[in-house]
Structure 1
Amino acid sequence: MGEKEYSMMDVASSVCTILNLPSPAQTEGNPIAEIVSSLDGLRKVAILVPDGMGLFTWDLWRHKMPYLDSLHTNRSLILRSVMPSISPVNFATIVSGTDVEGHGILIRTGKFKCETLFDLVRNASRKSAGIGQDSYTGCELMGKNADICGCTREGSNYDIAAKIIEIVDVYEPDFLIAQFIQVDDSFHKCGPSSPSVVPILADMDTRMKELVEYLRPLGYGIIILSDHGQHDLPVISPKGNKGGHGTDSPEDCLVPCTWI
């Protein structure tokens, strides 16, 4: 794992630099030189988000994800989520370059009070897509603010990957962001350190390999990161969850990032 740590607020300006777009007006981040230099010259960017897979979980289970492990061996850094470490807030940060005070998003159905990557892509007469399961952030916040909304009835890794391929085949968006919610759901149910999550992670690893092999020849630069991590709960929650997030702990806030 790379030792350099950056802010989640740095992602938006990195994507804008690759796409030759201005950064969002309110961004508090800066382009990440390692990512920008590697993906320089590409005209399209895909951000793939295995939701909830923080550095804590990555360190536990990376040996079960050989494809992602190979990517991280070559290119890897750490991102710090903004607070609170929950999906709507950090997905909003990824596309705006600012924190909750700047973008105004606390829930997946919230309204942005600032400029986003979706606006910048649209202003340049280009197309964006947001992809995820119905009633989750990828659909409700990303999809419904993008030009192309890719919502799925089911949220398995397979379903999200298939929707990405379908949308790229039909629309060829210049920017897309997709939420793989099955990872986060499994962590909540079992706890991120439970061996029960390994089949979901192994399947997600397979989907990432398939998507990279599909998207890269089409000219996409691909950034794989998470929005937040998770920690094991000391006591099962009233909802029956064994994993949780939202705190400022390293388990919840530090996430791995790789790109190709």
Structure 2
Amino acid sequence: MPALPAPPAGPFDQVRPRYGERSLADVLPSALAVLDVPGAADPLGLAGALDGVRRIAVLLVDGLGWHQIPTAAPYAPALAELAARHGRTLTSGFPSTTPTSLVSLGTGVAPGAHGVLGFRVNVPGTDRVLTHINWTDDPDPLRWQPVPTQLERAAAAGVAVTVVSRPEYAGSGLTVAANRGGTYRAAADPGSLATGMLAALGAGTGPALVYGYHPDLDKQGHLAGVDSLPWRQAAVELDLLLTRLVDGLPRDAALLVTADHGQLNIPYENRLDVDAEPGLRAGVRLVAGEPRVRYLHVRPGAEPDVVAAWSAELGGRAWVAGRAEAIAAGWFGPVPEPHRRRVGDVVVACLGPYAVLDSRTDSPVEARLVAYHGSCTAAEMTIPLLVRRG
């Protein structure tokens, strides 16, 4: 087996999103260009390599950052082979978290445009914090995320579009925001995911787009840690899934494998609790985001003092900036006015192996997790794109 390409940056180097060039949001527009959907751009340049392909399966593996592939390689040789022979790197969007990334993939636009700007965000004008993975129909997904999806574009052009994912995600706010436009096929485990994706890919004679979602590697990373025994077993199961998909590809089909983010194990001694540092509460009205990237919503006029207090406390462990600075720096892509207040007045992004907990609002389970993600390090932001023809 050829050697895996070296990561483009060290795990704690800061990585900026490559929107419109080499990001997760560019995957489906390029896939639609291969399928000759009118007006589809091809920022990843897939059309030449996939000339003649009429069916595309896109598998998103939650938590499979590029930096995690060498760790998984001893337990996932098919994954390692795909990465070595057919892999390139992309960036996730920012924050590097599942809801934001799934909607970026589904819509083909940067987070600022679609508005799902974090794991938890404040609903502007209220004291409510919306957790996107627990979202049902309030706020209305079609209003909260107004951008048409790439699946809708493909279906309107006559492509047969299918979404294969866990039954509990059907009809959720996040699924409607990210994946509306496709026929939903429930798959409760990796075996049924492979079966469902291949069945949809092989049905009919016209162009087809199949999207599949696999959450288990991320789950075991959170609960037990990257390279733990449960994580290794999840890597083995992922390898079996990839093998089935590659072996079952029709001759006129291609498989694209990507991810939403990577993960980092965070030592318990590197976790700061906001409640343990009284000065960090001063001026803060509401805490959103997640442990690796926090959104602080502050009382009127308090932003400079909050930035100063958090910068002094965290030092080089985090980047602390006001909303306007974070948006101007391009982390979210262009952010229209209706979405700006979903970003905190102050953004706190951890730079090393650190996390910021909020025992008032975080669930006890979240505080006990082993691995986290969400921030701007290479280990979190650098993701694979593996391209395999049938």
Shorter-chain TM-score: what band? 0.7 to 0.9
How far apart in 1 are the matches of 2:186 and 2:379?
A: 29
In the TM superposition, what whole-angstrom CA distance separates every residue of 1:199-218 from its partner, at most 9, and x where no partner exists? 2101211111111211233x
**Alpha-carbon distance in 2 for matches of 1:134, 1:245:** 25
Q: Is 1:87 the counterpart of 2:98 in the alignment?
A: yes
Task: Kindly report the root-mean-square deviation, in angstroms, between the aligned alpha carbons of the 2 structures.
Answer: 2.7
Verify the 8 A CA contact 1:16 1:23 in the aligned structure 2: no
Q: Which residue of 2 aligns with 1:63?
A: 74
Identity, in percent, stands at 20
SS of residue in 2 equivalent to 1:63: coil
The answer on 1:199 being equivalent to 2:233 is yes
Match of 2:28 in 1: 12
Whichever structure has more helix as a proportion of its residues is 1
Q: Residues 208, 137 of structure 1: CA spacing in aligned structure 2 closer, same or farther, 3 A cutoff?
A: farther
Quick one: distance in 2 between partners of 1:203 and 1:52? 14
**Number of equivalent positions:** 252
Which structure has the larger Rg over C-alpha atoms?
Answer: 2
Q: Is the 8 A contact 1:9 1:94 kept in 2?
A: yes
Between the aligned partners of 2:104 and 2:236, the Cα distance in structure 1 is 28
Letter in 1 for 2:384: P
Q: Which runs of 5+ in 1 are unaligned?
A: none
1:30 to partner: Cα distance? 4.9
Q: What is residue 224 of structure 1 aligned with on the other side?
A: 257
Distance (whole Å) between structure 2 residues aligned to residue 137 and residue 249 of structure 1: 32
Give the aligned partner of residue 116 of structure 1. Answer: 149
For 1:131 and 1:171, how far apart are their aligned partners in 2?
17
The structural deviation recorded for 1:164 is 2.2
Amino acid aligned to 2:385: C
In structure 2, C-alpha distance between the alignment counterparts of 1:38 and 1:82, rounded to whole Å: 25
5+ long unaligned stretches in structure 2: 9-17, 118-131, 136-140, 272-356, 358-363
1:76: which partner in 2? 87
Of 145, 155, 167, the residue aligned with 1:134 is 167
Q: 1:113 to 1:228 in 2, by over 3 A?
A: same
Q: 1:230 to 1:129 in 2, by over 3 A?
A: same
Structure 1 Cα separation of the partners of residues 97 and 255 of structure 2: 23
Does 1:244 pair with 2:279?
A: no
Q: Are 1:259 and 2:387 matched, yes or no?
A: yes
CA–CA separation in structure 2 for the residues paired with 1:200 and 1:209: 14
Query: TM-score, with normalisation over the residues of structure 1?
Result: 0.85
Q: Secondary structure at the match of 1:31?
A: coil
SS in 1 for 2:267: coil
**What is the rounded CA distance, in whole Å, between the counterparts of 2:381 and 2:157 in structure 1?**
33
Instruction: With the length of structure 2 as denominator, give the TM-score of the two structures.
Output: 0.58
- Amino acid in structure 1 at the alignment position of 2:44: I
2:196 alignment counterpart: 163
Q: Can you list the C-alpha shifts for 1:62-101, whole angstroms capped at 9, x where unaligned? A: 2321112222222211111001112221122123221121
Q: CA deviation at 1:166?
A: 4.3
Query: Which amino acid counterpart does residue 17 of structure 1 have in structure 2?
Result: A
Distance 2:65 2:32 in 1: 24
Does the CA contact (< 8 Å) of 2:197 and 2:211 recur in 1?
no
